[in-house]
Amino acid sequence: MRILVCEDQPDLRRALCRTLEVSGFAVDQAEDGMEALKYGLAEPYDAIVLDLGLPQIDGMSVLHRWRDEGCETPVLILTARSRWSDKLAGFNAGADDYVVKPFEMDEVVLRLRALIRRSAGQASAVLTCGPVQLYTSEGRIVDNGMPVDLTPQEFRIFAYLMHHANRVISRQTLAAHVYDRYSDRESNVIDVLISRIRRKLSINIIHTIRGQGYRLGPPRA
Ligand code: CA
């Protein structure tokens, strides 16, 4: 899972990025509205954090442009203004949720996880495949009741596959949701990560679809 953070205040931006990375996300950052607009259209983020008060192009205009260009990524608005009219304008522009500054970092993480889950069409906060469960709000994996310990990269792949279960996902798509802008993206690394995840699970729920990619689903009979 990969997030774009658009915030011009350096301290807040860094704090958000750090929190999200610790919470298991790959994170890119935009410092102004121009960067935000460009990155948001160029990369397949799972969610975007958007400050409304951005230099160059304000957040609301950026959001309008994303939606006009067909970008459907869920957007969580950060706003210092708590007036309802501002929130309403945000929702009319296509925002999915908002938090009012100052906010708790944990709340941002929680709301982003819920946004990502809902946008993937998952109604339940606990995603299940066979004996394996992903508790989406905590970012916790359990296999037959036992905790599963994945590295951050393994976790991002696994979480993406769980959110998009029973669909064939290409290596390129996985790479785009696992790495930030500055990481090398060798597709064979994805294969290595997948086999490491498989070794940590009691049964195989990640199936190789030859020539296409991977599909997460119940173990084959
Ligand atoms: Ca700002």
- What's the gap in Å between 164 CA and the centre of ligand 1? 33
Residue 187: what pLDDT? 62
CB 99 within 8 Å of CB 111? yes
Domains and their CATH numbers in the chain:
2-119 (3.40.50.2300), 126-216 (1.10.10.10)
What's the whole-number mean pLDDT along residues 92-106? 91
Distances (CA, A) of 80 to 54, 61, 98, 109, 207: 12, 17, 11, 18, 46
Q: Is the pLDDT of residue 84 over 80?
A: no
- What's the gap in Å between 118 CA and the centre of ligand 1? 27
- What's the gap in Å between 8 CA and the centre of ligand 1? 5
- What's the gap in Å between 6 CA and the centre of ligand 1? 9
Residue 219, classed as helix, strand or coil, is coil
- What's the gap in Å between 53 CA and the centre of ligand 1? 4
- Per residue, what are the HEC states of 43-78? CCCCEEEEECCCCCCCHHHHHHHHHHCCCCCCEEEE
- Those residues whose beta carbon sits under 5 angstroms from the ion ligand 1 are 8, 51, 53
Percent of the chain exceeding pLDDT 70 equals: 97
- What's the gap in Å between 58 CA and the centre of ligand 1? 9
- What's the gap in Å between 160 CA and the centre of ligand 1? 30
Q: For residue 161, with 0-12 CB atoms within 10 Å meaning exposed, 13-18 middle and 19 or more buried, which class applies?
A: buried
Residue 124: what pLDDT? 94
Mean pLDDT, rounded, of the chain: 93
CB 39 within 8 Å of CB 14? no
- What's the gap in Å between 80 CA and the centre of ligand 1? 8
Residue 221: what pLDDT? 63
pTM, to two decimals: 0.92
Confidence of residue 44 (pLDDT cuts 50, 70, 90): very high
Task: Report which DSSP code applies to 211.
Answer: T
Q: Is the pLDDT of residue 87 over 90?
A: no
What digits encode the pLDDT tens for the residues 116-170?
A: 999 999 999 999 999 999 999 999 999 999 999 999 999 999 999 999 999 999 9
β-strands 97-100, 126-129: how paired? unpaired
Tokens (6 digits) for 118? 């809902």
Tokens (6 digits) for 40? 């948001």
β-strands 2-6, 47-51: how paired? parallel
Confidence of residue 104 (pLDDT cuts 50, 70, 90): very high
The radius of gyration computed from the CA coordinates of the chain, to the nearest angstrom, equals 18
Whose tokens are 């969610």? That residue is 47
